[in-house]
Amino acid sequence: MTVQKLEWPLQLDFSFIVNPDGSGSQTTTIQQAYNKREVAPGDDGGSFSVVSNSVSPTDTLLFDSSFNITGHQNQSSTQRYFTKDSAGDCFSRTITAANGLLTTIADGVGCKDKDDRH
């Protein structure tokens, strides 16, 4: 019998600030993920697999006293993908972006050594 556990956690935060002149900002931060764990017992020791994919973007929207959008700031995002199974396969990648540009790509974080990366 194979057992699966699936999760889709979501966290959403808003911060709304109004300045004395009526202008202001709204900051939105999201943390969303997909997590899957699967275990299949067997005479050969069984098998397992894990998949995790998460993203956490944030952005601050700026507006004037008439609520016209005037721009944004502090725009950034990070995505992490990880998978591993009982056959020894492992893949991990983290990407980050800021102000609309890709800033880093990191492979292998979470895998036990460089030989496990795919």
Domains of the chain, residue spans: 3-116
In the numeric block, the tokens 């931060």 are attached to 29
- Mean pLDDT along residues 46-65: 95
CB neighbours of residue 84 within 10 Å: 19
Q: Which of 80, 81, 87, 89 is nearest to 112 (CA)?
A: 89
pLDDT digits (tens, 9 = 90+) for 62-97: 999 999 999 999 999 999 999 999 999 999 999 999
Q: What average pLDDT is seen over the chain?
A: 91
Half-sphere exposure of 93 (CA within 13 A, CB side): 5
> What Å distances lie between residue 48 and 38, 58, 107, CA to CA?
5, 34, 22
Of the ranges 32-36, 41-45, 49-53, which one carries the lowest mean pLDDT score?
Answer: 41-45
